[in-house]
Amino acid sequence: MDGGMERGRDGGAAVPEADWKVGVDIGGTFIDFCALETRSGRVASLKVLTTPDDPGAELMTGLTLLAEREGLDPRAVTRFVHGTTVGMNTVIQRKGAPLALLTNAGFEDVIELARLRMPDTYSLFCSRPDQLVSRDMVFGIPARLRSDGTERQAPDRAAVADAVAAIRAKGALGVVVSFLHSWRDDAQENAVKEEVGRLAPELFVFTSAEVWPVIREYERTTTAILNAYVHPRISGYLSALEERLAGRGVPARPLLTKSNGGVMNAAEGKRACVHMLLSGAASGVNGAAWLARQAGEPRILTLDIGGTSADFALIIDGQARFGVGEMIGEFPLHIPSVSVSSIGIGGGSIASVDGQGVLRVGPESAGSTPGPACYGRGGEWATVTDAMVVCGWLGHSQMAYGQLRMDAGLARAAVGRLADRLGRSLEATAQAILDVAVSEMFAEVEKMAARAGVDVRDFALMPFGGGGPMLGVFLARELGMSRVVAPRWPGVVSALGGLVADLRGDFVRTLFADLDAGLMPALRDAFAAMGREGRDWLAAQGHSGAAELGIVADMRYAGQSYEIETPLRPDWLDGDDPGAIADAFHAAHARLYDFDDPDGRIEIVNLRLSAVGGGPALHFPMAEEEARAASAERTVPVFTGGAVTPVGLYRRADLPAGARFRGPAIVAQEDTTFAIPAGTEARVDAHLNLHLTFAE
């Protein structure tokens, strides 16, 4: 042996003794690492503060720390999965590429008109957001397809040339081409794309049909615009990422987490940028779903709290729910994605007093720079984290793997300024900040549950992220939930989600036809074509194993404006009887709206297919569960229930499988801290998950 390496069997180049799989997720405040050494089953986790001015630099810092602390050899990394917020932040901060839009003459206002809805129906003062493509950069091209896909008017090449000249003069970097009915036939869009490329090869061009070929021109156009808007920054970021990893000797080509919970390779990510916009949130839900299956929990409400936001999702029978229309900043995203509801409440959310003397929390966040006041990095505003420190739940151990030390004095000073304005005690003000944060999350969960048609009291809460364990138990109790399941590494669940993710590609065909016997051949043909497309996509990603094909139809009763996602079985497409498909839709409609119309005419709008290539079978260590009472390291004073109470402090690393204790308690670990109020029973399972139940 020499330096942790061994010679190959044929005497050739040395190969690492270890085999590391690494998952990485970049959030607003921290970048998270979860690494598994598959030969020993050892898990290493880490958090590193982000560097907003140099995205990706913190990734190299993390790899260096993992090498120093855990012995991770970059040459032994055989799988590297990366989730990033670069795309989402580009949209939110409006730092994307200047774009032009080419659309049909007479339809230049397609993105301005949108769906004729105001952002806030009940406000007389709200306004629509400024579009990512300004009105003077939208050019109408005389061209028209009929609704059946036949051509009425070919694109006017002279108008395209005039538009390109104006686009160049105005300094755009890219062009989106979106024409009516291109979901039926994309030939006109492709012809214009080729012409733009001939006239101005320096411009990058995307067509709406290549990004997401669905009916409804507004949704198709905005999705293509989002893809183009973030393309230069994501493409540049991914190229730099590949170079940095190669420079560190990492042999694995990076995989990227997607909004649908799957992964794709970097080459695909540079073009299909829109599929990465919700990658961080989706990775967290994907990791939680894997943990739920491992723990045998059929129904989970996830709570992912970072520095800026709180994300919620539902997991049923080990599977996350999917949807379309998720919001990226102020804009809807119309591709399949893990269904996540978000609110601007995080550990760094700033508390303030408005002009009416009312305490508010968020959505503004202190982020990682300067961060909460207690971080000692220059922050002066009181945040949720500062309130936790003042109450005594935080500040008894190092945070973020030793990178942060809580300064209670700075936290008390920041919260004290609010207390003076409110005329309340310091501790009461801190508790009020936490109460407001929990109430804001409560309202968001109630809305999400109503949309999904579920009762969250039938679910267990799984809190994760750096802030989820701080507030999760309080939220669960307010929601009337009876159980909380806390992962062993809650601070890095999003990174774990990438580590265990499968390759997944989504494909769509718009049919827009009545469900009857005459439609069945078209359904079979569409399914077969998408199946071939899905298998080809997996092969291009380097997958050589079996493909799992899932099929879903977007269906509605004739006359309805919105569709219901209805899972189908491939064998239902055999023959000419659509009865099984109709029955599935009626049942889905009744489940969601509590009524159905068995005699109603049904339409299928879209047929969607997911092609999944299984990732590596990863096995995490288990321990034998032996019931025993856990002992607190010491007691610390905590303001809870309106008074200062001695609370037991436990170290997560010292809680073996089978350990039991009662709240109130604090469980400290390197990536987060659990706040456990009185009336809570705690137990550690064989996977080292922490199960919390509430006394009746």
pLDDT at 580: 96
For the chain, give every domain's residue range: 21-90+235-276, 96-230, 503-613
Q: Band of the pLDDT at 619, cuts 50, 70, 90?
A: confident
The arrangement of secondary structure in 96-230, i.e. its CATH architecture, is 3-Layer(aba) Sandwich (3.40)
Higher per-residue pLDDT: 367 or 322: 322
Region 391-413: mean pLDDT is 83
Q: Band of the pLDDT at 326, cuts 50, 70, 90?
A: confident
Contact 130, 330 (CB under 8 A): no
pLDDT at 75: 93
Q: Band of the pLDDT at 197, cuts 50, 70, 90?
A: very high
Distance between CA atoms of 498 and 286, rounded to whole angstroms? 8
In tens, the pLDDT along 455-477 reads 999 999 999 988 899 999 999 99
CATH fold group of domain 503-613: Dna Ligase; domain 1 (3.30.1490)
Whether pLDDT at 17 is above 70: yes
User: What do you get for the CA distance between the two ends of the chain, in Å?
Assistant: 60
pLDDT at 107: 94
The reply to whether the predicted model has a pTM over 0.75 is yes
Indicate the burial class of 357 (C-beta count within 10 angstroms; 0-12, 13-18, 19 or more): exposed
Q: Which amino acid is at 552?
A: V
Distance between CA atoms of 399 and 379, rounded to whole angstroms? 17
**Percent of the chain having pLDDT more than 70?**
96
pLDDT at 515: 96
pLDDT at 1: 29
In tens, the pLDDT along 376-387 reads 888 899 999 999
Q: Which amino acid is at 571?
A: D
Helix (H) or strand (E) holding 511, with range, is strand 503-514
Distances, alpha carbon 521 to alpha carbons 49, 353, 431, 493, 568, in Å: 55, 63, 63, 44, 16
In tens, the pLDDT along 30-47 reads 788 999 998 888 888 888
Helix (H) or strand (E) holding 605, with range, is strand 602-613
Distance between CA atoms of 103 and 73, rounded to whole angstroms? 52
**Neighbour tally for 148: CB within 10 Å:** 8
Higher per-residue pLDDT: 616 or 338: 338
Helix (H) or strand (E) holding 323, with range, is strand 322-323
Closest CA to 681 of 673, 690, 693: 693
Distance between CA atoms of 693 and 498, rounded to whole angstroms? 29
SS3 232: helix
pLDDT at 8: 43
Token pair 């409804």: residue? 216
Cα Rg, the chain, nearest whole Å: 26
Helix (H) or strand (E) holding 473, with range, is helix 468-478
pLDDT at 16: 63
Choosing among 3.30.420.40, 1.10.3720.10, 3.40.50.1820, 3.90.1150.10, the CATH entry for 21-90+235-276 is 3.30.420.40
**Percent of the chain having pLDDT more than 90?**
63
DSSP symbols for 73-135: -GGGEEEEEEE-SHHHHHHHTT-S--EEEEEETT-TTHHHHTTS--SSTT-SS--PPPPSS-G
Average pLDDT, the chain: 89
The token pair that represents 404 in the structure block:
């942060």
Token pair 């190299």: residue? 60
In tens, the pLDDT along 52-103 reads 667 677 888 889 999 998 899 999 999 999 988 778 778 877 889 999 999 9
Contact 664, 645 (CB under 8 A): yes
Whether pLDDT at 12 is above 60: no
Distance between CA atoms of 609 and 531, rounded to whole angstroms? 7
Q: Band of the pLDDT at 400, cuts 50, 70, 90?
A: low
Q: Is the peptide bond before 363 cis (omega within 30 degrees of 0)?
A: yes
Closest CA to 178 of 154, 204, 212: 212
Q: Which amino acid is at 34?
A: C
Q: What residues contact residue 95 under an 8 Å CB cut-off, 6+ apart?
A: 89, 233
pLDDT at 14: 54
